[in-house]
Structure 1
């Protein structure tokens, strides 16, 4: 779905070429995106905006006591969201609240830091990965970060390099189970992207 990325992608030549191929012009795309925005769950947008701002602001100031307090508030807010609205996916809330960028990944990542909340999120968010609502990489990063806290090998190998991977075949099986490419293919994608950026 292109709508959540529209503000970032609307000048992308590949995207322009794609929608023109199907006889769609930029005005029609703008209209479709505007209609999509009207269907967003505003209460969920507002709630997630509050959580994202809390998450980012306390880390900007490096106030660790405030970070812990805000993370726990966000954990409770996420549980409330899940219970009442399901996962705050891009289709439900978009990526922007005004000019504020609010991807789900950072907040989910920080749920790995609290053993009183982590088991719930490990189980619940996996449901949303399987339903296609949560990006698998966001979930995998949370799991790997918790692995690192407990000094056990990475489950998925997406967080802070590959040094904590002990058995790549197990990791690849785990990755496949949530829809992530193998480590080898992931590295190829990264190399291809880097090469394409060099030619621009």
Structure 2
């Protein structure tokens, strides 16, 4: 049963952390050490969890039921960390902090100005590196200074021209499992629903208080990028 449930969600790099947590619990319950090893590999190699350092009861129970030694866990995390683009990571953190500082002023002119200043940089590094996911800049490890939410927020501040330029690149990243489909959909939906701009894309229904005019078209569009169908 566990094998069929686990394999149903391949490719693994598209799994969300909460889904991995569920499989951890199942694998522990059914004493499936090989599945626990696979999940631990994903958590470290794809999401940057420094499991060797985690000492609370939940993680200790996990570590007591895997075949990896403490040294092997340390080595796996070191490999992950050494493959991060730290310069890009630091730049994204810096830009996000500046962005949030400006937004706290509620000065519309300053906010628009900083959005346009940062936009070319976002477009440049996404074109060069692809979507800056966990494997590139980190973001899901406990106490990690960078968060996937940083890019979600910044993509929603990109102009329609910038969004149209990034759309095919990010769509390809979604298909490869590198970019969360919700980030891609959110970038496009804000122009259609919030800013009321004409776009060539169907509304993906990412705003809970905005019901699509054509729920079938919206659900078909969601399904194509890997989002679940919704009841609106």
TM-score interval, normalised by the smaller of the two chains: 0.7 to 0.9
Which stretch shows the higher mean deviation, 136-145 or 119-128?
119-128
Q: Give 1:183 deviation, angstroms.
A: 1.0
Alpha-carbon distance in structure 1 between the residues aligned to 2:92 and 2:68: 32
Q: Deviation string for 1:40-96 (max 9, x for gaps)?
A: 012221222222222222223323222212211221001211233222121100117
Q: Deviation string for 1:102-132 (max 9, x for gaps)?
A: 3221111222xx2332211223321221222
Q: Give 1:136 deviation, angstroms.
A: 0.5
2:213 paired with 1:166: yes
Alpha-carbon distance in structure 1 between the residues aligned to 2:105 and 2:227: 34
Q: Give 1:26 deviation, angstroms.
A: 5.7
SS at match of 2:161: coil
Q: 2:205 aligns with which of 146, 157, 160?
A: 157
2:29 paired with 1:29: no
Alpha-carbon distance in structure 1 between the residues aligned to 2:106 and 2:74: 39
What root-mean-square deviation, in Å, do the aligned CA atoms of Structure 1 and Structure 2 show? 3.2
Residues 52/71 of structure 1: CA separation in 2 closer, same or farther (3 Å cut): same
TM-score, normalization: structure 2?
A: 0.65
Q: How many residues matched?
A: 181
Alpha-carbon distance in structure 2 between the residues aligned to 1:25 and 1:174: 45
User: Is residue 99–residue 114 contact of structure 2 (8 Å, CA) maintained in 1?
Assistant: yes
User: Is residue 154–residue 165 contact of structure 1 (8 Å, CA) maintained in 2?
Assistant: no
1:69 — aligned with what?
A: 113
User: Is residue 138–residue 146 contact of structure 2 (8 Å, CA) maintained in 1?
Assistant: no
Alpha-carbon distance in structure 1 between the residues aligned to 2:215 and 2:69: 46
Alpha-carbon distance in structure 1 between the residues aligned to 2:112 and 2:94: 16
Ranges in structure 1 where 5+ consecutive residues have no aligned partner: 188-200
SS at match of 1:40: coil
Q: Deviation string for 1:143-199 (max 9, x for gaps)?
A: 11111121779621112x153312222111111100111114xx9xxxxxxxxxxxx
Alpha-carbon distance in structure 2 between the residues aligned to 1:80 and 1:134: 16
SS at match of 2:157: helix
TM-score, normalization: structure 1?
A: 0.74
Ranges in structure 2 where 5+ consecutive residues have no aligned partner: 1-41
